[in-house]
Amino acid sequence: MRKLTIAIDGPAGSGKSSLARRVAQILGYLYLDSGAMYRALGLKALRAGMTSDNAPPLAELARGTHIELKSPTEEQEAAGFKNRVFLDNVEVTHEIRTEEVAKAASLIATIADVRHVLVAEQQRAGAGGGVVMEGRDIGTVVFPHAELKIFLDASAEVRAERRWKEHQEKGDVLTLPEVLEEVRARDKRDRERKVSPLVRAADAVLVDNTAMDVEETARLVVMLSREREKELAQAASRAG
């Protein structure tokens, strides 16, 4: 059976990583977190003191950066890490999961030349098919011909609560209103930026998981994937 390219887009905390990881596990596909690449570059920019949105030096920084995504070890998986992330060959899996880095990522993500560099990397990484890639522009820009597109959403309050719980577990001292404010600010930047804003692709299936857990949502998406696989197989046998 031909393997699909599955694109999952949606706002912060909508459950993209959990869903994409679980669907990839069930189908035996590769899971790729494009947001982790923006976060890794955001971390590098923060460390270099580049906190403005001055495009040329940030684009230069992106061109001179090597980001790699790898599967997690069993311990990392058990601790909730779905991807291992390497920035210029040094692991930054944990360091990129802060609100400060998320904000830096969403700032540099507004720059067209930065996006060109990362989108090209993402297209290379997913070129063979059999991938579940998640982010903001996967179904619209990175893989506009993906065979299955999901736009995942949930209310801002529920999304902030999910993120806040993760911070609590790590011992971060953020309040729920602070996390909600950051989630709303990031939503606004991601949806209103000029280049590749977060929008639902016309052919994406809208899934609202405000009241659904990861497993239920994954079952739904796996069912949709199997249907698409069958349709493609039938189309191929008719053609050949």
Q: What's the sign of the alpha-carbon dihedral 228, 214, 130, 190?
A: positive
CB of 76 within 8 A of CB of 93? yes
213 is an interface residue for ligand CDP by CB under 6 A: yes
CB of 122 within 8 A of CB of 110? no
121 is an interface residue for ligand CDP by CB under 6 A: no
38 is an interface residue for ligand CDP by CB under 6 A: yes
| Dist. CA 218–CA 214, nearest whole Å | 6
Q: What are phi and psi of 90, to 5 degrees?
A: -115, 135
Among 26, 61, 156, 214, binds ligand CDP (CB under 6 A): 214
140 is an interface residue for ligand CDP by CB under 6 A: no
Q: How far is the CB of 158 from ligand CDP (least distance, A)?
A: 8
Task: List Cα–Cα distances, 208 to 9, 71, 167, 216, 220, in angstroms.
Answer: 12, 27, 23, 12, 12
Beta carbon nearer to ligand CDP, 162 or 200:
162
Q: Could you say which residues in the range 145-204 bind ligand CDP, by CB under 6 A?
A: 162, 166, 186, 190
209 is an interface residue for ligand CDP by CB under 6 A: yes
Beta carbon nearer to ligand CDP, 149 or 186:
186
Q: Of 94, 188, 85, 61, which is closest to residue 136 (Cα–Cα)?
A: 188
- Token pair recorded at residue 152: 């995942």
126 is an interface residue for ligand CDP by CB under 6 A: no
217 is an interface residue for ligand CDP by CB under 6 A: yes
State which residue has the least CB distance to ligand CDP: 35
Residues that bind ligand CDP (CB under 6 A): 10, 12-18, 34-35, 38-39, 102, 105-106, 109, 135-137, 162, 166, 186, 190, 209, 212-214, 217
